[in-house]
Chains A and B, each alone.
Chain A
Amino acid sequence: MRFYATYLAQRLGQFLLVVFIGINLTYLITHLTPIDPVEQSIAAVTSFGNTSPEAIGAMRQSLRELYGLTGAPHEQYLAFWRRIATADFGPSLSAFPTPVSTLIARALPWTIGLLATATLLTWVLGNLLGGLAGYYQNKTSLKVLAIIAMGLHPVPYYIVAFVLLVTFGYLWPLLPIAGGKAMNLGDQLSLEIVLSILKHSILPALSLLLVGLGGWFLGMRSLVSNIVSEDYVVYAELAGVDHRRILTSYVMRNALLPQVTGLALSLGAIFNGAIITEQVFGYPGVGSLLVSGVYAGDYGLVLGVATVSIIGVSTAVLIIDLLYPLLDPRVRTG
């Protein structure tokens, strides 16, 4: 128990340090951006419409004050940490005065819904099929699956996404190619909305699944291939233990540990959003939000999304670290 308390304290300390360094690095990088949010706002106002050069000069100064860009750098930095301590990322400069937290809260459910489902589905399918392929190495159907998985794995994501888009959006227009749900459906939860959300998520989820499946499949097959020749597996087979039990309790359970670590990291990275997926399929989420923040020089928004992501990944790692001693006795005794 004492070991676990020390282990817990170390890991919590590491977690806090990683989060602190990560947020500081993000703060530094966003503030080094050559994009000036004031100029972006002025360009948005003057790109098409009438304007006078004198008015722009006055507008430039007043926007700098409004956006809080006039203080000394250390004052801005301290103000930033004061806000972070209260989970307030301040207003978005490209959607002023709406708080960044409001924008993230609106986008995050879409990202979590799509990516968590796709990640879990890919992980379960990939590991299951990979485990079967590693154990039943002479099955033709699994060999074919292995070839497909190996073929799809190296294909760049955007190619797969584009092929799906053209196939199911144009050649065989079965599925919607943009958005999170049908237009004009209303906001009240209903079966119609749920079905519409499901339908709109099929193509982006399928694209993630096709590309992600190969990695888990090949990883699991490789792990299982090694474990099947271990003494305890051979002994179990010789002892006449049921094959299904050998596969699930002797082989896959042991092979799962590194895969669980990978899953935790993948789930943590969900908070980054799937930028290309959201862009290609016009799917709402934090990835698109992040891209628009970068292009607009919106420090607050980029910092907000990045901070959520840093905390997400670090928390996932922390949870895995805390669970490991419970799952694997070797960590506990080591």
Chain B
Amino acid sequence: MRLKRTILAAILWGSVGLATLSSGAAAQGLFANLPRNEILILENPEGTIKNAGWFNIWAINAGSQSNGLQQAALDTLWYIDPNRGLDGVWQNSLAADKPQYNADFTEMTVKLRPGIYWSDGVEFTAADVVHTVTTQIKHKNMRWSAALALNVEAVEAPDPYSVHFKLKKPNSRFHALFTVRWNAVWIMPKHVFEKVEDPLKFDFNKPVSLGAYVLHTFDPDGRWYIWRLREDWQRTTLARYGTPGPKYLAYVDPGPPDKRVIAQMNHELDVIHDVAPEGMFTLAKQSKSSVAWFKGFPYAHPDPTLPALIFNGQNELFKSRDVRWALALLIDIKAVSMASYRGAATISAIGIPPTGRHPESYHEPLQDWLASFELDTGKHKIKPYDRGIGQQIAEMLRPSMGDQIPSDPKAIAAAFGMGWWKADAGAAAELLEKAGFKKVGANWQTPDGKPFTVRVVVEGEARPVMTRAGSMIVEQWRRAGIDAKVDVAQGTLVTRRAAGDFDTLISWSVETWGGHQDLSFFLDSWHSQFVAPAGTPQPPRNWQRWSHPDLDKVIEEIRKIGFDDPRGIELGREYVKIAVREMPTIPLMSYNVFTVMDTTYWTGYPTAADPYTDPVPNWANSRAMFVKLKPKS
């Protein structure tokens, strides 16, 4: 009896203690001493930052980048928005105008915007730009040291608002280094860094800000950072777009996907960076205040990044384009879309992400060419393109998703993509035979009589959507008689990708500006001059280690023309045609990011209906959100 009383008393006291602590919790709120309706809470996908007190972004990999530092506190000369932009795609930020090149692209002059101040009251001038460049050239291990040292012969400031660069060799895209697409060379405060003996060992804590926000507090254990709107925010480049809505920005690590969903349902996380499709569907169903890029299915924001099946071009098996094409024709993209994104994918048959301004420049104008494109299987010619596959995916989903699926063909194309290659096992067999392969019984053999074995490297649990895409492709190839295997790389993917340690790989070698049609952002690295010999590390982004003389000519011509030259689009289309003929990678879909935004406290998020910027919160471009967001009344 006494024992029972003791146990009951223990339970009672435990409950009282829990209730006391919980009531304390309710009184304290999510943030101590800050009103919730003045804070915008965003996910930092870098997670918990182990070196939390490090803000010197110019040192490589030393601290966090997307903890609000690059979105709220740093600035540079130009931004290109991946979507439409606040007042156009191109934004002169610290620069007052576009870059001015001389005729042969060996000099670049920049006019700077006056009246911009660092958060400690010092005016931003050309001396800061010069110091940013010279410091990184002088200290070779800084983030942009190599890129600047390779390009810059001399840099000077003729006056406080002008910078003049002399380049070591012609470079019509030199300004791209200072143009934000996710990030860029951030300008460092000369008056701070000139007093530092070794900029590699300087933590820049507390950071002096050039953005509209300044560091308020941060967690020494790296789980959260809070930035406060500067009192003099009018003296920053963001001010020309209006008054920032949130007084505070909190970049937090909310934990694994399940916890992100719970946190948003509890209204403790305004912007989720990304969740699995299932998490998105749960929020769409259960959280009335949650919105995403598309109002209905497929919800996600298509990033200007193109996941693809990448062949190792230095593997003898994949040197024949007939083999590459055969493997492409054995893929049923509808099944891959369902397996990977549960149908919420935006497919692309060509090597350009179907997002931003690219569909109007590339996908739509090339539809007729794609439809008429012929492939010679060795026995007959086929037209492999089916321009209705995006529509077919939408129709597959309509019975279960109802009015979540758009009916307007243009809306369907924007959401699900346009066409793709028809799965054609017969044509694939003919192409393999043309390349010398033989089918013995139910299995394919290589020309030298060995089983046709293909490893498909996937990242694993860190990137489940892409892993599911790879697994489905393996399944389809196995059904066709190829000895295909999934090879889960986990954390070794980066090392193996650079080393060329793969047969095929689900990854991306195409990333673009999104809002601008110029393709040099990734295409320049596809020139044959950068293909590393087998066994040596490959520099980004030509992971397929493939080159073609015709493509080299295209790239060399792009290098000679200006960034905005309309000829650039024509050359981009030439690249597409070469890539379709040669199939060095099998483009699959855009990298769809399930960014989910809670409207309980804030309204005015970017969406497909008002695509003023990319909502994905680790992009520096997402700062455009701050001036469009308004407190919910």
Contacts and interface: CB of A to CB of B under 8 A. Distances in A.
Q: Is the interface of A mostly helix, strand, loop or mixed?
A: helix
A34 B524 contact: no
B50 A103 contact: yes
Contacts of A95: 50-51, 54, 61-63
A110 B51 contact: no
Nearest to B139: A62
A327 B47 CA distance: 47
Contacts of A202: 18, 21
Given A53-B539, A92-B50, A175-B18, 4 more contacts: A50-B147, A53-B542, A96-B61, A165-B259
Given A41-B61, A199-B22, A292-B50, A284 B223 contact: yes
Enumerate the 3 nearest inter-chain pairs by beta-carbon distance, A residue then B residue, closest first. A95-B51, A48-B182, A53-B539
Contacts of B224: 179, 183
Contact of B492 (A35, A145, A184, A289): A35
A63 B60 contact: yes
Interface string B98-141: 00000000000000000000000000000000000000000011
23 contacts: A34-B495, A36-B498, A39-B498, A49-B181, A53-B530, A55-B146, A59-B146, A95-B51, A95-B61, A97-B59, A103-B51, A106-B220, A141-B7, A165-B259, A177-B263, A180-B221, A182-B28, A183-B224, A184-B32, A199-B21, A279-B255, A280-B256, A284-B221
B48 interface: yes
A178 B200 contact: no
A56 interface: yes
B249 to A, nearest CB: 12
A34 B539 contact: no
Contacts of B278: none
Contacts of B541: 46
A259 B590 CA distance: 57
B176 interface: yes
Given A51-B540, A53-B525, A58 B259 contact: no
A304 to B, nearest CB: 12
Given A39-B537, A179-B223, A282 B146 contact: no
B25 interface: yes
Contact of B34 (A49, A110, A184): A184
B14 to A, nearest CB: 10
A41 B60 CA distance: 7
Contacts of B380: none
B158 interface: no
Given A49-B184, A53-B530, A177-B255, A186 B217 contact: yes
B30 interface: yes
B495 A182 contact: no
B259 A282 contact: yes
Q: Is the interface of B mostly helix, strand, loop or mixed?
A: mixed
Interface of A: 34-36, 39-46, 48-60, 62-63, 66, 92, 94-98, 103, 106-107, 110, 132, 136, 139, 141-142, 145, 162, 165-166, 169-170, 173-180, 182-187, 192, 195-196, 198-199, 202, 279-282, 284, 288-289, 292, 294-297
Identify which of B4, B7, B495 gathers the most chain A CB atoms within 10 Å of its CB: B495
A150 to B, nearest CB: 17
Contact of A40 (B48, B256, B495, B537): B495
A126 to B, nearest CB: 14
Nearest to A279: B256
Interface string B214-252: 001101111110100000000000000000000000101
Interface string B517-551: 00001001100001000000101111000000000
A107 B494 contact: no
B32 A183 contact: yes
B219 A183 contact: yes
Contacts of B150: 52, 54-55, 58
Contacts of A281: 255
Contacts of B59: 96-97
B61 A94 contact: yes
A13 B521 CA distance: 61
Contacts of B32: 182-186, 192, 196
A199 B220 contact: no
Nearest to A46: B540
Contacts of A195: 21, 24
A295 B491 contact: yes
Contacts of B492: 34-35
A127 to B, nearest CB: 15
A248 to B, nearest CB: 14
A96 B47 CA distance: 18
Contacts of A162: 258
B95 to A, nearest CB: 16
Nearest to B21: A199
Identify which of B4, B28, B182, B542 gathers the most chain A CB atoms within 10 Å of its CB: B28
A313 to B, nearest CB: 23
Interface in B177-213: 177, 179, 181-184, 200-201
Contacts of B181: 48-50
A284 B48 contact: yes
A85 to B, nearest CB: 24
Interface in B1-31: 3-4, 7, 18, 21-22, 24-25, 28-31
